[in-house]
């Protein structure tokens, strides 16, 4: 797998220069796999503070979830060599025209992703609104309208799905979409980390109460594709993959483990996008293109699925 996921609570301990996760069921897992760059924790864990230093040195990102909902990511500290990138990111954020260009590119990619899932959706009026938008709130309004139209298409096909709702999820469809988004955020975060971009500087989402926002921007470009993948699974899965807690529906441990296997398959899959690049390579390629625009600005940023549709 391209990542590790742990569903049970437990404790991380160092033994003979190696780190191990001891889960609540008595199992032990090696945490020093050099091929892993992302680790997802679905429950409470305990670890010594110097474990974070080890993670920082090894470049591994830790993603934390609760009941299948994304909570936060611990990112290894930035090195001094990344200061020029951070400076350029900040300049792009403060430049209204450049920030608008990047934010519009994120939303345009989200619209095209929605049309990949539902080719018959007419988004021309929303695209016109996006093109003439002169401020970020107008861009976000166009994005919200596009996704409302996208989710309506799912309601038409799955009448018991009444729309996107979360925290808590009222049904199995929203529960599995929320988990899919959590994994998507982690994948976007990893791609950002590999390019040296600072995840704290987003261009569409405001950094008000969140430490990081750029991964939310990047993830938006692919949400319709990921949501389609999750919805199709939810339509097939039986109720024993979920459980009710209070007013919410959540994935069981069995459901989360099964979804993790499917997610790894999706990352490696080659769909109807970008000359059949794998999904994870497509995301990494788009983030590199974003970095190139921020650093050099030779041509406006476009995701590969938008460029391919022109």
pLDDT band at 5 (very low <50, low <70, confident <90, very high): confident
Cα Rg, the chain, nearest whole Å: 20
Instruction: Give residue 136's pLDDT.
Output: 95
Whether residues 104 and 170 share a domain: the answer is yes
Which helix (H) or strand (E) segment holds residue 250: the answer is strand 248-251
Among the candidates 37, 55, 74, a domain finishes at 74
Token reading at 63: 């993603």
Domain that residue 95 falls in: 80-309
Whether residues 158 and 225 share a domain: the answer is yes
Cα-Cα-Cα-Cα dihedral sign, residues 49, 69, 102, 273: positive
Among the candidates 74, 106, 131, a domain finishes at 74
More reliable by pLDDT, 108 or 196: 108
Asked if pLDDT for residue 45 goes beyond 90, the answer is no
Whether residues 305 and 206 share a domain: the answer is yes
Ranking 80-84, 259-263, 303-307 by mean pLDDT, the lowest is 80-84
Whether residues 162 and 190 share a domain: the answer is yes
Whether residues 52 and 201 share a domain: the answer is no
Half-sphere exposure of residue 148, counting CA atoms within 13 Å on the CB side?
A: 7
User: What's the CA gap between 73 and 76, in Å, rounded?
Assistant: 10
Whether residues 191 and 272 share a domain: the answer is yes
Instruction: Give residue 80's pLDDT.
Output: 47
CATH number at residue 187: 1.20.120.920
SS3 (DSSP) at 221:
coil
Whether residues 61 and 197 share a domain: the answer is no
Residue showing tokens 């309506």: 152
- Helix, strand, coil distribution of the chain in percent, nearest 5: 55, 15, 30
Backbone torsions φ then ψ of 69, nearest 5 degrees:
-100, 135
- What single DSSP character describes residue 299? S
Whether residues 156 and 20 share a domain: the answer is no
Asked if pLDDT for residue 230 goes beyond 80, the answer is yes
Whether residues 93 and 68 share a domain: the answer is no
CATH number at residue 11: 3.100.10.20
- Mean predicted lDDT score pLDDT of the chain: 85
User: What's the CA gap between 146 and 140, in Å, rounded?
Assistant: 10
pLDDT band at 62 (very low <50, low <70, confident <90, very high): confident
Residue showing tokens 């519009």: 104
Whether residues 115 and 90 share a domain: the answer is yes
- What single DSSP character describes residue 77? P
Among the candidates 74, 92, 114, a domain finishes at 74
Whether residues 66 and 84 share a domain: the answer is no
Whether residues 241 and 260 share a domain: the answer is yes
**Predicted confidence (pLDDT) per residue in 236-273, tens digit:** 998 888 989 888 898 888 888 888 888 888 888 877 67
Instruction: Give residue 59's pLDDT.
Output: 67
Asked if pLDDT for residue 224 goes beyond 60, the answer is yes
pTM value is 0.83
User: What's the CA gap between 310 and 307, in Å, rounded?
Assistant: 5
**Predicted confidence (pLDDT) per residue in 7-28, tens digit:** 667 788 877 677 888 887 778 8
Instruction: Give residue 264's pLDDT.
Output: 85
Cα torsion 257, 260, 264, 270 to 10°: value is 120
Q: How many domains does the chain have?
A: 2
């Amino acid at each position: 797998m391209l990542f590790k996921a742990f569903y049970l609570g437990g404790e991380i301990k160092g033994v003979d220069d190696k780190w191990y996760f001891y889960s609540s069921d008595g199992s032990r897992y090696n945490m020093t796999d050099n091929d892993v760059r992302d680790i997802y924790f679905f429950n409470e864990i305990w670890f010594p503070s110097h474990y974070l230093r080890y993670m920082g040195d090894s470049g591994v990102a830790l993603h934390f979830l609760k009941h299948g909902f994304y909570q936060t990511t611990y990112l290894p500290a930035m090195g001094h060599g990344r200061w020029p990138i951070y400076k350029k990111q900040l300049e792009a954020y403060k430049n209204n025209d450049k920030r608008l260009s990047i934010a519009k590119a994120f939303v345009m990619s989200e619209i095209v992703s929605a049309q990949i899932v539902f080719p018959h959706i007419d988004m021309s009026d929303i695209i016109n609104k996006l093109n003439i938008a002169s401020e970020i709130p107008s861009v976000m309004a166009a994005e919200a309208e596009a996704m409302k139209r996208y989710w309506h298409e799912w309601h038409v096909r799955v009448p018991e799905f009444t729309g996107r709702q979360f925290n808590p999820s009222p049904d199995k469809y929203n529960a599995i979409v929320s988990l899919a988004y959590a994994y998507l955020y982690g994948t976007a975060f990893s791609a950002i980390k590999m390019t040296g971009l600072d995840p704290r500087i987003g261009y569409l989402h405001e950094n008000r109460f969140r430490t990081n926002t750029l991964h939310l921007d990047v993830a938006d470009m692919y949400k319709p594709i990921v949501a389609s993948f999750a919805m199709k699974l939810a339509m097939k899965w039986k109720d024993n993959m979920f459980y009710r807690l209070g007013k919410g529906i959540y994935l069981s441990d069995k459901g989360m483990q099964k979804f993790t296997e499917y997610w790894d398959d999706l990352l490696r899959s080659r769909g109807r996008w970008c000359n059949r690049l794998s999904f994870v390579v497509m995301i990494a390629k788009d983030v590199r293109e974003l970095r190139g625009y921020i650093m050099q600005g030779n041509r406006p940023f476009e995701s590969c699925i938008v460029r391919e549709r022109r």
